[in-house]
Amino acid sequence: MEKLREELLILENKISKLEPNKSQRAELLNKLEQYADNFIGQLDDSLSFRGNETKDSSRLAIDGTTASIEEIISIFEEEVDTPGLNPASGGHLGYIPGGGIFATAMGDFIAAISNRYAGLYFGSPGAVRLENRLIDWMKMVFNYPDSALGNLTSGGSIANLIAITAARDHFGIEGEKVQKAVVYLSEQTHHCVHKALRIAGLNSVVIRNIPLDEAFNIRVDALEKMIISDKKAGLYPFLIVASAGTTNIGNIDPIEKIADIKDKYNLWLHIDAAYGGFFILVDELKSKFKGIERSDSLVIDPHKGLFLAYGLGAVLVKNQKAILKSHHYRASYLIDATKNDEEHSPADLSPELTKHFRGLRLWIPLKLYGVEIFANALKEKRGLCIYFLEGVKKLGFKVGPEPDLSVGIFQYIHESIDSNTFNKTLMDEIHEDGRVFLSSTLINGAIWIRVAVLSFRTHVSTVDRCLEMIKDCLQRTELKLALK
Ligand SMILES: Cc1ncc(COP(=O)(O)O)c(C=O)c1O
């Protein structure tokens, strides 16, 4: 016993570095603060995309040796923060940006220091209450009933998965029923919905791609015809997935009319509003979301529309029974943890048990800044998208349908060369340039370049820089393809 005690005291001494003292903490924080200040300070002048440049990526490997905080920061800067896309930059206008407001870091910092257990109410009633109040706020924003449940997820993909499993379990889609079950979605549905169906054991359901109109919106007449014909054929239609802000084009499906169909045929309507949902905060755009409150489940991503750093999505589900059926479980070792549940616990509404206390990264900014500031930022992003499209039109580009939100598409039609070859080469030039990052997409076989304005750091000057860059790249593309 004495010997063991001595060994334990030696071990305690050996691991004491894991709890730095006040001055050590201050020194570490000071170094991190300096890095953060430099990083944020140079964002305006740095490239948004840098290709593959790294110094020596082998330094990322874990080999058991130790390094000083200065060395660690330098490895991080050179090997992680330099190559590829810089999502913190306002010049990130590709995919779906967000930026990462500073207050996210404050929330994550405090969450990690206090390490509150936000999975079950018993462990941290305050943390669970805080997350549930955020869900309540979202229910209010989208006019969902008080009885709806919700969960803060790591992102939109897991949020969509939770909604899909709830729909599955509401209708009891299992066993032989799977192959006769029908899901209606569109070519513009985000691919994470297909992944969710696969993960949820619904790989062999019948998937119907609803035809789209010229603005890439779901055609409701075609949807209804499909449902009628599937029912006649003895199939089991159960789920419609619509988008409020597609990733490719940013368009919003005709939600109200789709909700009429779902009521008429008693189907589950899921809306993926991961990108577009928070634009509902902008007064002028509210009417575009009419009917969203009639959906059965809804996905919205604060790490997109509320500009948080990556790591926060959200799902709302109206049918309590359905979402609990998928996720509620009582393990024998958790019997104490289920007493006095005054609130629904996140662990009962998602696949996660122990989880990051991610609510804090949204709660702090909403408390610190209020809500209106986010509405104004979103209004600015939409305006910038329109401003940008006017600008590329002037440069001779063809632009796609008028954007519903802040994603637009454009392409250059050159009289003497195939359009895909030209736009692919132009895209390569844009990536090579790197001043601003754009991404492209394939729509009906044609390459379109996308502009997605959603970083809180994107402003008029960024869009002007982007237009200048495109003008330069256009010239370089013509030279490269010997068109000049
Ligand atoms: C409309 C839409 N749904 C779902 C997702 C997936 O979300 P996440 O990347 O947060 O998992 C995205 C991502 O861009 C999206 O735009």
Tell whether 422 is covered by a domain: yes
pLDDT category at 405 given cuts 50, 70, 90 is: very high
Whose CA is closest to atom 4 on ligand 1?
156
CA of 336 to the centre of ligand 1 (A): 37
What is 315-342 written as a DSSP string?
Answer: EEES-HHHHHHHH----GGGSGGGTT--
- Which residues partner with 411 through β-bridges? 398
Which tens digit of pLDDT belongs to each residue from 247-267?
999 999 999 999 999 999 999
| Ligand 1 atom closest to the CA of 158, numbered from 1 | 11
Which one of 314, 343, 369 terminates a domain?
Answer: 369
- Write down the pTM of the prediction: 0.96
Cα–Cα distance for residue pair 109/106, rounded to 1 Å: 5
Q: Which residue has the higher pLDDT, 329 or 94?
A: 94
Q: What pLDDT, on a 0 to 100 scale, did the predictor assign at position 46?
A: 86
- The CATH code of the domain that includes 400 is 3.90.1150.10
User: Which position has the token pair 């990526």?
Assistant: 57
Residue count of the chain: 484
- Predicted confidence (pLDDT) per residue in 357-371, tens digit: 999 999 999 999 999
The answer, yes or no, to whether residue 118 has pLDDT greater than 90, is yes
Mutational pocket test of ligand 1: of 251, 275, 292, the residue with most ligand atoms within 8 Å of the beta carbon:
275
CATH of the domain at 251: 3.40.640.10
The model's confidence at residue 343, banded by pLDDT at 50, 70 and 90, is very high
Cα–Cα distances (Å) from 109 to 104, 105, 273, in that order, read 9, 6, 28
- For residue 339, pLDDT beyond 70: no
**Residue 225 shares a structural domain with residue 364:** yes
- Strand 313-317 to 149-153 pairing: antiparallel
Chain-centroid distance of CA 19 in Å reads 35
Question: Domain range for residue 317?
Answer: 107-369
Assess whether 266 and 407 both reside in one domain. no
Are 351 and 387 members of one domain? Answer: no
In a domain, 191, yes or no: yes
Domain boundary among 369, 390, 421: 369
Are residues 224 and 267 located together in one domain of the fold? Answer: yes
* 160 and 246 fall within a common domain: yes
- Tell me the pLDDT of the chain averaged across its residues: 96
Is residue 151 in some structural domain?
yes
Q: Separation of 307 CA from ligand 1 center, angstroms?
A: 14
Atom of ligand 1 nearest to the CA of 157: 11
Asked whether residue 200 falls in the same domain as residue 343, the answer is yes
Minimum-distance ligand 1 atom for the alpha carbon of 310: 10
Check whether 472 has a pLDDT greater than 70.
yes
Given a cut of 90, whether residue 338 has pLDDT beyond it is: no
Both 262 and 141 in a single domain? yes
- The domain boundary, picked from 353, 369, 385, lies at 369
Mutate to test the pocket of ligand 1, among 85, 92, 93, 96 (most ligand atoms within 8 A of CB): 96
Within a domain: residue 50? no
For residues 287-323, b (16+ Cβ closer than 10 Å) or e, as one string?
Answer: ebbebbebbbbbbbbbbbbbbbbebbbbbbbbbeebb
Tens of pLDDT, residues 370-389: 999 999 999 999 999 999 99
pLDDT tens digits for range 24-61: 999 999 999 999 999 999 998 888 999 887 889 999 99
State in Å, rounded, how far the first CA of the chain is from the last one. Answer: 87
| pLDDT above 80 (res 13) | yes
Q: Which residue has the tokens 């909403």?
A: 366
The CB of 190 under 6 Å from ligand 1? The reply is yes
User: What percentage of the chain carries pLDDT values higher than 90?
Assistant: 94
Who's near 271: CB < 8 A, 6+ residues apart?
241, 242, 243, 244, 255, 292, 295, 297, 298, 299
Assigned domain for 406 exists: yes
**pLDDT over threshold 70, residue 103:** yes
Tokens of 257: 């009319």
- Confirm whether 57 is domain-assigned: no
Q: Is 462 in the pocket of ligand 1 (CB under 6 A)?
A: no
At residue 22, the pLDDT reads 98
Is residue 301 in contact with ligand 1, taking CB distance under 6 Å?
yes
Assess whether 325 and 394 both reside in one domain.
Answer: no
The model's pLDDT over 284-325, given as tens digits with 9 standing for 90+, comes to 999 999 999 999 999 999 999 999 999 999 999 999 999 999
Residues 378 and 360 in one domain: no
Quick one: pLDDT at residue 407? 98
Identify whether 13 is part of a domain.
no
Share of the chain above pLDDT 70, in %: 99
Residue 340's pLDDT band, with cuts at 50, 70 and 90, is low
Pocket test for ligand 1, best of 157, 299, 350 (most atoms within 8 A of CB): 157
Same domain, 234 and 147: yes
Number of domains in the chain: 2
